Amino acid sequence: MLSGTATAAAEEAPLTRRTLIQRDRGLLWHPYAPLGGDAPYAAHGAQGTRLSLAAEDGSCFEAVDAMSSWWSAIHGYRNPALDAALLDQAGRFSHVMFGGLTHEPAVRLAEQLAAMTGLDHVFFADSGSVSVEVALKLAVQYQLGRGRPGRNRFLALRGGYHGDTFAAMAVCDPVDGMHAAFPAQIREQLFLPRPPAARLVGGVLRADSSEVAAWIDTLEAMVRGHSDELAAIIVEPVLQGAGGMHVYAPECLAAARRVASENGLLLIVDEIATGFGRTGKLFASQWADVVPDIMCVGKALTGGYLTLAAMLCSSRVAAVVTESPLRALLHGPTFMGNPLACAVASASLELLETSNWQQQVAGIEHGLAAALAPARGLDAVKEVRVLGAVGVVELTVPVDVKAASAAALDCGVWIRPFRNLIYTMPPFISSAEDVATIGAGVCAAVDGVHG
């Protein structure tokens, strides 16, 4: 190294970071972005609700995190309990194969998840998309086990998002999910229209009752017309995330539960974005008091530390597969049940259960409603909506992502808009000041770029 003194090191650091952005460009792909097209900032630290970032010119700054690193960092960054759980497990062993072996972190986490969800059986996957693949597989194996091999398609929702692998993509919205780019890889599935929008009024999600009734009629007709080929209905409960941040009537979720049961279909709820308190309920299915046959969780599962997801199912579903000629669920990732990820997830769930997350989320909901209200008056704004620790400003035009992100950063806020949506889902530990700052940053981004 060139320098021995702190001053010299501080002067050198920005140059190193500027080089990092340049070294990244053209070398690394970033999510849904052209090569070389999208990494204008580098992160060099994260603590609590703050990200430490550097721009290409080497300037460093802190920003309040409005994204929880895509729904995951619910307890914020460098949480002492999660750090300790990770280090403790690393001091024992970081990984062993799950084939033929079990271990404490996996068993403990599975017990916690079963207790939280009321579903008795757990399959650990290494990402949300993979857990959706496993859920779809399980549904097909279930129907096979019941002697119905023809029931192997899925009914999904327009505007849904379930992941980026091919089977998961096939149940994503056909247009947003880019089905047209992969005609040979995507199995054609069946879709219902987006369920009618619901808005929070006095703590209750309300929707237009005639729209809801019409949607349920469509659901019933679709399922009756195709029950001999459908294995399951798959939905994001009440809040569709990456497909448009759309909040819908819980009655539609309840109807999906009923109609699935009446017609021998399974109900798969994808709680990967909504699980663990984000919408104000521990699981968003609880807005409709729905118990699914199969549930997927991920994202916040490890508090944002490591990649881990889980598929859970009822004992009824598991029993059919176990008693079928195949007996096994036909999946088994190399890093299944990774002990580091399980240990951190366990600590994260413990933290959630011993924290006052209901109060934290209610506080964020309240704070976001107030802080985003000024956006309502802006020309480019179609709607502002808040559910739990999720705040959404929907524009009438596509967001200029680069300009909007930069405008928010000028107010000290990290956002990552998409399509016509500037949205936030802050860590649950965000203070009232953090939430106010986020609201101001979002409003400034809307006003400054699209006002």
Ligand X SMILES: *Cc1c(COP(=O)(O)O)cnc(C)c1O
Active site members: 32, 161, 270, 299
Using the contact rule CB under 6 A, the part of the chain among 208-216, 225-233, 269-277, 315-323 near ligand X is: 269-277
The residue among 129 and 346 lying less far from ligand X, judged by its C-beta, is: 129
Q: Give me the 292-331 binding string for ligand X, x by CB under 6 A, dash otherwise.
A: ------xx---------x----------------------
Candidate list 139, 242, 288, 375; residue touching ligand X; CB under 6 A:
242
Contact call for residue 127 and ligand X (CB under 6 A): yes
Position of minimal CB gap to ligand X: 128
**Could you give phi then psi for residue 99, rounded to 5 degrees?**
-70, 115
Contact call for residue 128 and ligand X (CB under 6 A): yes
Closest contact distance (angstroms) between CB of 227 and ligand X is: 25
The residue among 162 and 281 lying less far from ligand X, judged by its C-beta, is: 162
Using the contact rule CB under 6 A, the part of the chain among 82-90, 267-275, 358-366, 424-432 near ligand X is: 267-275
Contact call for residue 129 and ligand X (CB under 6 A): yes
- Rounded CA separation 191/155 (Å): 6
Binding residues for ligand X, total number by CB under 6 A: 16
424 contacts: CB under 8 Å, gap ≥ 6 = 66, 67, 368, 390, 391, 415, 438, 442
213 contacts: CB under 8 Å, gap ≥ 6 = none
Contact call for residue 126 and ligand X (CB under 6 A): no
Is-contact 340 92, C-beta < 8 A? no
Contact call for residue 241 and ligand X (CB under 6 A): yes
DSSP 47-60: EBTEEEEEETTS-E
- Rounded CA separation 331/246 (Å): 32
* Other CB atoms within 10 A of residue 1 CB: 6
Closest contact distance (angstroms) between CB of 284 and ligand X is: 10
- Rounded CA separation 273/128 (Å): 9
Using the contact rule CB under 6 A, the part of the chain among 14-22, 74-82, 122-130, 344-352 near ligand X is: 122-130
> 3-state SS of the chain: helix, strand, coil percent to 5?
40, 20, 40
The residue among 105 and 244 lying less far from ligand X, judged by its C-beta, is: 244
Contact call for residue 132 and ligand X (CB under 6 A): yes
CA distances from 432 to 81, 153, 232, 424 (A): 23, 46, 42, 14
* Other CB atoms within 10 A of residue 400 CB: 14
Using the contact rule CB under 6 A, the part of the chain among 112-120, 194-202, 266-274, 435-443 near ligand X is: 266-274
Candidate list 66, 223, 230, 273; residue touching ligand X; CB under 6 A:
273
326 contacts: CB under 8 Å, gap ≥ 6 = 141, 144, 145
Is-contact 235 156, C-beta < 8 A? yes
Candidate list 162, 278, 281, 385; residue touching ligand X; CB under 6 A:
162
The residue among 272 and 449 lying less far from ligand X, judged by its C-beta, is: 272
**CA-based angle 400:180:241, to the nearest 5?**
50
Q: Which of 225, 222, 195 is nearest to 209 (CA)?
A: 195
Contact call for residue 163 and ligand X (CB under 6 A): yes
DSSP 56-91: TTS-EEEEEESSHHHHT-TT-BS-HHHHHHHHHHHT
Closest contact distance (angstroms) between CB of 411 and ligand X is: 27
Candidate list 236, 251, 365, 434; residue touching ligand X; CB under 6 A:
236
Contact call for residue 177 and ligand X (CB under 6 A): no
Which residues are at the interface with ligand X (CB under 6 A)?
127-129, 132, 161-163, 236, 241-242, 270, 272-273, 298-299, 309
